[in-house]
Chains A and B, each alone.
Chain A
């Protein structure tokens, strides 16, 4: 299996006034294609910061991060955006659907952005696959939490990305909806051969990943 992601001696510091807070320290990590990884750890340990660095949403203070052949630590914000657009899907705990876009429009957004043919049709097929046929033209405010997260997953996988980053994907859901979302996610990565890096507090969910990484005080333990 080829390497998808490579982090070498990555550090992330935040400046709080004159003090510097070390969020991540010397993170070195390699992941392969089609690998599923869960990142666990206590609140404030640096889990979310790590996937933010991997997704290019935060700049590392030092160290290098390679995504495939791209050294994202050296790329500009727009260049990282371009990689994210084509290769990475992100799922958030709070879903973050665009409030004034319908379910179909939210999913079609990434397809349109990447000039796919007939984005609306593809978006509908995806939503249909996740059991949301009856919700195509509903706004996010008209959907339940589970439905919103299914739309968010559909949006993140619409481009068939090589990597899905998920930050507490079931954190805002009840146990029934959590199970359903976990099934959808893991079935999808299995079927499509996509890599998944997921931050979670849910032990059951974490255990479904092939590899588990524990972070404590900004370090992989």
Chain B
């Protein structure tokens, strides 16, 4: 660089770079397009992710519902302590529970399992509730038996304002519809909910486990107070109370943040694949551009330019181009935020707005720069091959990619930096590394495949068909684009086919789980004295019902081997949910059929007075629990110590009755408990929800089909986004192929001219292109299908623990569509080389 500044001012290099760029941008349009598409995808992912996170962080207090939340779970908690808090802060009491909500007085009454929030007049402490009509929120505080429902309940139950609905055995008047609440962090994101006044609790029976009762106290500090001091004061007040959990704004929506992180990591990896494929195209186009400028470079050298100066001009042009494209791509990604907001405000009640982030912009620019530099090193180094002496000889040889040991080393270092950029700070670094490993392995295999095809075709001795001969010659010639075509097409197709296979397998698994494994209904909150009524009523409705009833008790893990697990297990742990709050557990005499024991032994009958625990093997692994470890459980306020005696393989996705913890019945039968039941009907239409609720008003009924349809709807939206991004990867791959054809353009033109002179017909030339395509595409598709099968099988079986099946239809449709589009593109790009003008070519003009 010292030499550079000594010999030529940087300003001069900038001037030449700008001038060249302004006059040559059409020649490098494919660089501009591929770079823009890939940077736009990355920008969109980062911008939407950032906007979402900012919304969550900015509204952390609103999402939590206060500056702090005191959570007593199922119990009302220590009212004396709460009273003390009210002396220095505002406290709003909120009780959430789940119950059945049904229409009444119709021929076909409908019911919905709903989460109801009872709030006092101080609610919300932060943010606002969006509802209509005006005054409805005040009415639920002032009038008894009034309720607000969310838009989905309103639509599903076909309600009108002032209609009556039944909650358990009480009639309520629907006074309004809620479109959004601020404190969504506690809600199941796709669940239905309703809101009622605080007095509602007195009207309902909400002491059973099926109600999922939760007592929360939201606290808002006085503005003049120091939040840290008040927080410390509250922590100090509650430090002796083992039943309480204190939550802070930074913990709000942690589950949602995790989902966002995982999804954005996945999409980022797909987008970097698109960028790396684009890199191949960039290298091609740049090489073609340098070859077009071969004479100009030679003249510059003859005039005394150093090679380094010329390279600097080319690098600078790329840098300027990248800067402009990054700004445009990042700027345009802001327009996607309102579109994303349409879905998010509906699904989560969040309102996101585009947020400018310098760090994100720098990251986008840096990713673009790394990809550009990695792929342009061997191309721009080719400038060294251009000789000024060519000007005397009037002979310009096309330059080739130039790799030196130094440039290979530099490229590898930059590639490692690029990988680190996507790995460090990602939600799951190991997955990122694995993904990059798989990506480069595929790339290498496709490269080797291209060499293998070339090798085999060279060995082939065909003299009968001239078109076939020509196509083989085209594939095997020294400057053939075969490796580039195979690599870019192969990677794009592999990505799309893998995602398509994962998508269809997912849909099939969800669909088939309803008839094959899952029950039709879950029944929660069956009290001891209601059990016989429940059973007889179900059997009366359908005597062939497959009914499974298990006892349940609620317990919280307060200590593991004598230590509070919250002191060393973080919320990022996959099994944090087991220790985060009270969980339902059950007990059985013999191991469940679908929960096989994988370590340890079943109950030790010689110790009936000691609590024995059977634990989910994955939970044990995540929390590092060994056989013989002890859990201290809080059951109805009593701390009971139990030993871990075995681990079970639990598959929660089968939607049958599954528990993380099972107890030994000899001990657990002495604990006060209620029941949970599942029912699979021979004829599901025989089950009458309303009649069952008339009989047992406090019963909660969950229809599995309703629950699954919501999950499927969400998954469908996710897969549309994923498929769209992988389709864009294919588009980039196609641009890369067309750029590779353009690199060959001059050679192709000469070749076709010679063919013309020799008397070839256009038909024969087209046929040779067709054969060329068929040979390449067939081998690519075979390998791509193989990789897609391996990849999708790994994702389904290892990551999601689901059944994988080969779907030939989707592969056939996708493969033939991609093939057709690629063929069309190759034909279109070749079209202009089909009619070479003889005179300019033979006169070397």
Which residues of A are in contact with B by a Cβ distance under 8 Å? 48, 51-52, 55, 57-58, 77-78, 81-82, 84-86, 90, 92-94, 96-101, 105, 109-110, 112-113, 115, 155, 167
From B19, B306, B308, B392, A57 is in contact (CB under 8 Å) with: B392
- What are 30 sample pairs from A and B whose C-beta atoms fall under 8 A apart? A48-B392, A51-B392, A57-B387, A57-B392, A58-B389, A77-B307, A78-B3, A78-B7, A78-B307, A78-B308, A81-B301, A81-B304, A81-B305, A82-B7, A84-B302, A84-B304, A85-B303, A85-B304, A90-B302, A90-B391, A92-B391, A93-B394, A96-B295, A97-B299, A98-B296, A100-B20, A105-B19, A109-B303, A113-B12, A115-B12
Shortest B397–chain A CB gap in Å is: 15
- Tell me the nearest residue of chain A to B392, going by C-beta: A48
Shortest B2–chain A CB gap in Å is: 12
Contact B304 A100 (CB under 8 A): no
> Known contacts A96-B299, A96-B391, A113-B8; can you find 11 more A-B pairs with CB under 8 A?
A52-B392, A58-B389, A84-B303, A84-B304, A92-B391, A98-B300, A99-B295, A100-B296, A112-B12, A113-B12, A115-B9
Q: B24: CB under 8 A from chain A?
A: yes
With A81-B305, A82-B304 as known contacts, state yes or no: A100 contacts B392, CB within 8 Å.
no
From B15, B19, B295, B304, A86 is in contact (CB under 8 Å) with: B304
Q: B495: CB under 8 A from chain A?
A: no
With A78-B306, A81-B304, A94-B394 as known contacts, state yes or no: A52 contacts B20, CB within 8 Å.
no
Considering the complex of A and B, which 3 residue pairs feature the smallest CB-CB distances, nearest first?
A85-B304, A57-B389, A100-B23
Chain B residues with Cβ below 8 Å from A110 are 303-304
Chain B residues with Cβ below 8 Å from A99 are 295-296
The CA of A105 and the CA of B393, in the complex, are separated in Å by 25
The CA of A97 and the CA of B15, in the complex, are separated in Å by 18
Within 670-695 of B, Cβ neighbours of A (below 8 Å) are at none
Q: B388: CB under 8 A from chain A?
A: yes
Chain A residues with Cβ below 8 Å from B24 are 100
Shortest B11–chain A CB gap in Å is: 10
The CA of A58 and the CA of B390, in the complex, are separated in Å by 10
Within 293-325 of B, Cβ neighbours of A (below 8 Å) are at 295-296, 298-308
Shortest B402–chain A CB gap in Å is: 16
Shortest A150–chain B CB gap in Å is: 16
The CA of A79 and the CA of B193, in the complex, are separated in Å by 80
Chain B residues with Cβ below 8 Å from A97 are 299
Interface size, B (range): 20 to 34
Which residues of B are in contact with A by a Cβ distance under 8 Å? 3, 7-9, 12, 15, 19-20, 23-24, 295-296, 298-308, 387-389, 391-394
Chain A residues with Cβ below 8 Å from B7 are 78, 82
Chain A residues with Cβ below 8 Å from B308 are 78
The CA of A89 and the CA of B233, in the complex, are separated in Å by 86
Contact A96 B298 (CB under 8 A): yes
With A82-B7, A98-B299 as known contacts, state yes or no: A52 contacts B389, CB within 8 Å.
yes
Chain B residues with Cβ below 8 Å from A113 are 8, 12, 303-305
- Tell me the nearest residue of chain B to A51, going by C-beta: B392
Shortest A117–chain B CB gap in Å is: 13
The CA of A98 and the CA of B20, in the complex, are separated in Å by 11
- Tell me the nearest residue of chain B to A53, going by C-beta: B389
With A48-B392, A57-B392, A94-B394 as known contacts, state yes or no: A81 contacts B306, CB within 8 Å.
yes
Chain B residues with Cβ below 8 Å from A155 are 303
The CA of A63 and the CA of B283, in the complex, are separated in Å by 41
Contact B392 A92 (CB under 8 A): yes
Chain B residues with Cβ below 8 Å from A101 are 19
The CA of A100 and the CA of B297, in the complex, are separated in Å by 12
The CA of A48 and the CA of B303, in the complex, are separated in Å by 17
- Tell me the nearest residue of chain A to B24, going by C-beta: A100
Chain B residues with Cβ below 8 Å from A100 are 20, 23-24, 296
- Tell me the nearest residue of chain A to B22, going by C-beta: A100
Chain A residues with Cβ below 8 Å from B3 are 78
Shortest B822–chain A CB gap in Å is: 33
Shortest B550–chain A CB gap in Å is: 80
Shortest A63–chain B CB gap in Å is: 18
The CA of A84 and the CA of B301, in the complex, are separated in Å by 9
Chain A residues with Cβ below 8 Å from B307 are 77-78
Shortest A212–chain B CB gap in Å is: 20
Shortest A187–chain B CB gap in Å is: 23
The CA of A96 and the CA of B392, in the complex, are separated in Å by 10
The CA of A78 and the CA of B300, in the complex, are separated in Å by 13
The CA of A167 and the CA of B392, in the complex, are separated in Å by 7
Contact B388 A57 (CB under 8 A): yes
Shortest B300–chain A CB gap in Å is: 8
Shortest B316–chain A CB gap in Å is: 15
Chain B residues with Cβ below 8 Å from A109 are 300, 303
The CA of A55 and the CA of B298, in the complex, are separated in Å by 14
Shortest A99–chain B CB gap in Å is: 7
Chain A residues with Cβ below 8 Å from B394 are 93-94
